[in-house]
Amino acid sequence: MRLEIKDLHVSILDDQSKEILKGLSLTVNTGEMHAIMGPNGNGKSTLAATIMGNPKYVVTSGEILLDGKNLLKMSVDERSRAGIFLAMQNPMEISGVTNADFIKSAMQTRLSEGEHVPLFKFIKALDKSVADLKMNPDLPQRYINEGFSGGEKKRNEILQMKMLKPHFAILDEIDSGLDVDALKIVGENINNMASPDFGSIVITHYQRLLDYIDVSHVHILMDGKIVRSGGKELITKIDQDGYDWLKLELGLEDMEEPKKAVLGVCGAKKTK
Amino acid sequence: MKQLLEVIDSAKSLIDENEKYIIFNDGKAIDTNALDEVEITLNEAIDFSDYLRKNDTDLEKLIDQNAKVKTLVSIKKDVDLKIIHVCDDAKYINYQIDIAKRLNVNLTVVYGYVVNDAKIKLDVLIHHKSVVNFREYHEFSGEAKINTSFYLLRFNQLNYLSLENNSNTNDLTLNMYLLQQDISLSCLNVAINESGKIQNQNLNVYHLHEDTASNFNTYAIANNNSILNIKNIGRINNGCPRCDLKQKTKGIIVDTYSNIEADPALIIDENDVMASHGASIGAIDPEVLYYLMSRGLTKEASEKLIIEAYISPYFKDYSETNLGKYILDKIK
């Protein structure tokens, strides 16, 4: 399968004058693992949310195609059922719904009418995935992300991914909030998903996650566009030199909002 | 008559195997298997005024004067008991439950078929050192006014759960009187209004003695152009230090034209106490909806899951009972 993003322009729903993605193009095939890196505030998470169909963002032009089908015409749930998965940066807490029930309901949506998720198989697969991710065995019976640590939430996203078996997974800063051991476990689990039927886009700031994931393509996203693509050598270059060299090369200004300094009088001592 | 028999049969279907029960018709007990644990007396109400410094509402007066049947249910032993009311004639029902001291009692009260414009008054007196789990389910088809008062004596622990799923205009008043020391009260009230009409709830907790604690949570859902008014008053009287009072109301408005109005109020007349209250009313969180849909659930399935989750505390350890299944089926 192929996920194609063509000249994508995206704004925020609440402020459509503010364009975040400014003509982004990217093609990902199943069997490939792509990493997208880049400084803060340049559109990495917006790209992830737009592919999934987050209503906070508006596509002003361009297209996203999944095996030639227009993804932008699909609702969020249709995109999911078509094979797109987004591991979110800040997964929601939902009290009253257990992880196991939620995952089972999500799996059920992928079946035809009259078909049911086989319970025994489901429990076995869930237990195995929980063990693979070295999660607490009682976690499936707990409410979705309620009372979870940052690391547990991220592992829970990967758990859902493993169970739902998407064609394309977008992992939006899945490494934030993970300690070194958890990072290794998550990285290995993502790596183990690699297959001719699975493609992924790993969004990250840091090299550390990519130490554990065998990515085939690396892209740098700046100023709402992919400005450089290459192989793993790009990761090493960014880790050593940061992004300033690229900004200079491309003539880009710093996209981050400058922080305003406020001088207050509280605690100030008047001197003669 | 045939219709009444059918109603009674359907009431019996809510009783689990080996469960103790009393079925009331128009305030009179017509069937029970709990005579070892319970004594039922007609027209012999307890005078609660000894226990109470203040209470009287117009509804109470009205019911006291006009009640066709006054029934006293005295619980003498530990028991799991279900009380089901079927009212096809009487408009004014006044009954009382008296729970003896040092008991562990699980009590479920169901108001099923109730005649239009009914007024029901229930007073529950719990003697000291008893632990009571009290669950109520209201399913009125006609207009109804219901007034429930609990009188709690020392070292009581009351866990009160209520679910209202009425299809008409209703006024509900719930009074919790914490009359003596060392009482722990936990309340969970779930109100679902899909009737297209106005429903009012007055939920009052009175701390009338020092060293008492209450935690009152209300979960409200309004759908299908319905209005829910929830007035929640917590009162700590002068001379009642070291009380702990908590109130919280959460509401979900499902459609555009429904409304939930929460009016929480604290009346605190003592210094050395802890008291808090809050209310949050709104539509279903779009972020939560997005999260569920991003896993493949349709918008409708996601909304259903969110609402089921919202009322799930009522069904904790209860969804497999006949009544639990019946309610869940009704709500779905």
User: In chain B, what are the domain boundaries?
Assistant: 2-331
pLDDT band at residue B328 using 50, 70 and 90 as cut-offs: confident
Q: Is B42 on the interface with A (CB under 8 A)?
A: no
Q: Which of A55, A96, A62 is nearest to B316 (CA)?
A: A96
Span of A68-72, A164-168, A255-259 with lowest mean pLDDT: A255-259
**Residue B126 pLDDT more than 80?**
yes
**Mean of the pLDDT values across residues A70-97?**
94
**Mean of the pLDDT values across residues B268-272?**
94
In sequence order, the β-bridge partners of residue B275 are: B245
**pLDDT on residue A272:** 45
Question: CA–CA distance from B321 to each of B82, B91, B191, B234 (Å)?
Answer: 12, 30, 20, 33
Q: Give dist(CA B282, CA B254) in Å, integer.
A: 9
Question: How far is A92 from chain B, CA to nearest CA, in Å?
Answer: 6
Which amino acid, residue A14? D
Q: What is the domain extent for residue A81?
A: 2-250
3-state secondary structure of B253: strand
**pLDDT on residue B268:** 95
A101 in Cβ contact with A109 (< 8 Å) = no
Number of inter-chain CB pairs under 8 A, A vs B:
69
Classify burial at B281, counting beta carbons within 10 Å of its beta carbon; exposed 0-12, middle 13-18, buried 19 or more.
middle
- Average pLDDT taken over every residue of chain A: 90
Cβ–Cβ gap A92/B296 under 8 Å: no
**Mean of the pLDDT values across residues B18-47?**
84
- Contact residues, B window 287-306, toward A, CB-based 8 Å cutoff: 287-288, 290-299, 301-302, 305-306
Q: Tell how strand A199-203 and strand B274-282 pair up.
A: unpaired
Q: What are phi and psi of A38, to 5 degrees?
A: 160, 160
More confident: B91 or A200:
A200
Q: Does residue A266 fall inside a structural domain?
A: no
Q: Give dist(CA B279, CA B300) in Å, integer.
A: 26
**Residue B56 pLDDT more than 60?**
no
Residue with tokens 């609702």: A75
- The token pair at B237 is 């009287």
Question: How far is B289 from chain A, CA to nearest CA, in Å?
Answer: 10
- The token pair at B151 is 């009188």
Q: Which of B204, B123, B198, B122 is nearest to B166 (CA)?
A: B198
Span of A263-267, B107-111, B143-147 with lowest mean pLDDT: A263-267
* Cβ contacts of A103 on chain B, cutoff 8 Å: 295
Span of A44-48, A136-140, B24-28, B111-115 with lowest mean pLDDT: B111-115
Question: How far is B295 from chain A, CA to nearest CA, in Å?
Answer: 6
**Mean of the pLDDT values across residues B57-71?**
62
Q: Give dist(CA A112, CA B77) in Å, integer.
A: 53
- The token pair at B73 is 């249910």
Chain B residue with Cα closest to A55: B290
Q: What are phi and psi of B188, to 5 degrees?
A: -130, 115
Q: Give dist(CA B119, CA B125) in Å, integer.
A: 20
**pLDDT on residue B322:** 87
pLDDT band at residue A208 using 50, 70 and 90 as cut-offs: confident
Q: How many domains does one find in chain A?
A: 1
Q: Does residue A182 fall inside a structural domain?
A: yes
Among A53, A96, A106, the residue with its CB nearest the CB of B309 is A96
Q: What are phi and psi of A172, to 5 degrees?
A: -90, 105
Span of B41-45, B243-247, B272-276 with lowest mean pLDDT: B41-45
pLDDT band at residue A261 using 50, 70 and 90 as cut-offs: low
* Cβ contacts of B309 on chain A, cutoff 8 Å: 94-97, 143
Question: How far is A261 from chain B, CA to nearest CA, in Å?
Answer: 33
In sequence order, the β-bridge partners of residue B40 are: B73
Q: Is B308 on the interface with A (CB under 8 A)?
A: yes
Q: Give dist(CA B1, CA B5) in Å, integer.
A: 6
Chain A interface, best mutation among B190, B289, B295, by max A CB count within 10 A: B295
**pLDDT on residue A250:** 83
CATH number of A51's domain: 3.40.50.300
Q: Give dist(CA A168, CA A170) in Å, integer.
A: 7
Q: Does residue A267 fall inside a structural domain?
A: no
- Residue A164 sits at the vertex; the CA angle it makes with A163 and A166, to the nearest 5 degrees, is 130
No. of helices (H) and no. of strands (E), chain A: 9, 12
- The DSSP annotation for B123-186 comes to EEEE-TT-EEEEEEEE--SS-EEEEEEEEE-TT-EEEEEEEEEESS-EEEEEEEEE-SSSEEEE
Q: Give dist(CA B33, CA A238) in Å, integer.
A: 78
Q: Give dist(CA A106, CA B298) in Å, integer.
A: 10
**Residue A218 pLDDT more than 80?**
yes
pLDDT band at residue B314 using 50, 70 and 90 as cut-offs: confident
**Mean of the pLDDT values across residues A133-152?**
90
A10 in Cβ contact with A50 (< 8 Å) = yes
Percent of chain A with pLDDT over 70: 93
Residue with tokens 């093609």: A27
Percent of chain B with pLDDT over 70: 90
* Cβ contacts of A97 on chain B, cutoff 8 Å: 305-306, 308-309, 312
Task: Tell me the per-residue pLDDT of B77-93, one tens digit each, with 9 for 90 and over.
Answer: 999 999 998 877 767 88
Cβ–Cβ gap A80/B293 under 8 Å: yes
